[in-house]
Amino acid sequence: MSFGTLPNALVVIAVVVIVLARRLSWSELENSDTDVWRGPLVLMGVGVYQLYDRHTGMGFIDVVLLVIGAAVALIAGTASGRVAQVERRAGKVFFRLGMPGLGIMVAYLVIRLGLAGVGHLLGASMSGGPALMVSMGANLLTQSVVIQNKARREAEEYSTR
């Protein structure tokens, strides 16, 4: 592990811990949605910036692993968003992942870290930190979109009662 990947790994770990802690407990889904979107977008932005900075050394294996990582992130984000619990309390919408969502997130992280390991063994230059950041950001953003859609449907259903 080079000195450059250590800060990336620490950022990814810190974001994962913070987001999981927040999403496992009941949180209000605010009307502005910025709280739900901000972290994933920042994570993706930093990852894309770092990938762009290194894009000249990108090979076929790098592209394949990035595509597989993105697909896994989108599938896991959709699945964890679908199993998330959404409740309406006193006119406000609250959500949490719960244990099924945690299981999906843990499985996603194991698969994603496995892809990074395979990439390292195959000599891919993009399988580490930046790719992990983009993948994790895409996962959390997808999860957020699914949860917000679920909350909107619940709010519409609640208003028609």
Q: Is the pLDDT of residue 4 over 60?
A: no
- The 3-state DSSP class for residue 101 equals helix
Residue-wise over 63-97: b if at least 16 C-beta within 10 A, else e? eebbebbeebbbebbebbbebbebeeeeeebbbbb
Half-sphere exposure of 32 (CA within 13 A, CB side): 3
- pLDDT tens for residues 111-152? 988 888 888 888 877 767 788 888 988 998 999 889 888 888
User: Can you read off the two tokens belonging to residue 38?
Assistant: 């901000």
Q: CA 95, CA 86: separation in Å to the nearest integer?
A: 4
User: Each residue of 71-107: pLDDT tens digit?
Assistant: 999 999 999 999 999 888 887 888 888 899 999 999 9
